[in-house]
Structure 1
Amino acid sequence: MIRDEIKIRSEEGEVFDKKQIALAIRNSTFNDELRCSLLDDGILDKCQGCSLKYICDAIDKLVDNYVDKTTEVVNNFNFD
């Protein structure tokens, strides 16, 4: 069974699944990308003043850090 939901139900109520959030961020580093639906839908025309800007900026930094930490140079070639 494959679950692709960001919220899961528990006895205490609904909670956010950190695994799904982490997978979404990780998967954006492959052939996907992260975008803002507020900008895409024309609700906002810029990020300045948006209450989510701090979180979005942190996600962008997290993605960059993830790529840096998980990308390994296996060999260098010199064709001189």
Structure 2
Amino acid sequence: MIRDEIKISSEEREVFDKKQIALAIRNSTFNDDLKCSLLEEGILEKCLGCSLKYICDGIDQVVDNYVDKTTKVVDNFDFE
């Protein structure tokens, strides 16, 4: 069974699936983007002062680190 949900069912509390969060971040490095719905929907005009800014900045850093660690130059070609 393949599930595409960030939450895992739990009777006691909300539980979030790290795999789904990681896949969403990884998939954004291909042909997708990460955007903030608070900015997109006009709820906030800028990130400054947002209580989520620290987390969003961390996600951006995770994306950059992932790209750095998984991008490898295999060979260089010289066309003369």
Report if TM-score (shorter chain) is over 0.5. yes
Distance between the aligned counterparts of 2:39 and 2:51, measured in 1? Answer: 13
Deviation at 1:10, TM superposition (A): 3.2
The answer to whether 1:26 aligns with 2:10 is: no
- Counterpart in 1 of 2:62? 62
TM-score of the two chains, using structure 2 as the length reference = 0.92
Could you give the per-residue CA deviations for residues 19-57 of structure 1, whole angstroms, max 9, x where no partner exists? 000000000000111000000000000000000000000
Distance between the aligned counterparts of 1:60 and 1:4, measured in 2? Answer: 22
Identity of aligned residues (%): 81
Match for 2:55: what amino acid?
Answer: I
Distance between the aligned counterparts of 2:14 and 2:62, measured in 1? Answer: 26
Report the RMSD for the aligned CA atoms in angstroms: 1.2
TM-score of the two chains, using structure 1 as the length reference = 0.92
Provide structure 2 residue ranges, at least 5 long, that are not aligned to the other structure.
none
- Counterpart in 1 of 2:74? 74
Provide structure 1 residue ranges, at least 5 long, that are not aligned to the other structure.
none
